[in-house]
Amino acid sequence: MSGSNATVRRRVVVSGRVQGVFFRDTCEREARAAGVGGWVRNRRDGTVEAVFEGDPVAVERMVAWCRRGPSRAVVTAVAVTDELPAGDRTFRVRGYD
């Protein structure tokens, strides 16, 4: 994580055709390239949930990416919630909720 001294954390829930389209794998690759920590997982209701933590610009880059998703995704909504930083420095794919 680089840039400013501030660290932010955002939780996103992405709706649409977002499972079975390599959303999690691509999200992990994008997050690592952006230098953010956190995780991504499929939820049983068909949405994808992710948490991004790090430099504000990098986190916003990931939130913006979630609004598009990978090429095969069809994103219809993204709910974003601010959270207190928890110290996540690496990014990983998690199992179902």
Give the model confidence (pLDDT) of 59-85 as tens digits.
Answer: 999 999 999 999 999 999 999 999 999
In the CATH scheme, what is the code of domain 8-84? 3.30.70.100
d(CA 64, CA 73): 14
* 42 annotated active-site: yes
Tens of pLDDT along 22-68?
A: 999 999 999 999 999 999 999 999 999 999 999 999 999 999 999 99
Query: Residue 5 catalytic?
Result: no
Q: What letter represents residue 45's amino acid?
A: D
Catalytic residue among 11, 17, 29, 42: 42
Nearest to 49 by CA among 72, 68, 23: 23
Active-site pick, 9, 10, 24, 61: 24
Is-above-0.85 flag for pTM?
yes
Task: Name the token pair of 23.
Answer: 């959303």
* Ordered DSSP codes for 63-81: HHHHHH-STT-EEEEEEEE
Query: Tokens 């660290």 — which residue?
Result: 7
| Token pair listed for 65 | 């990416």
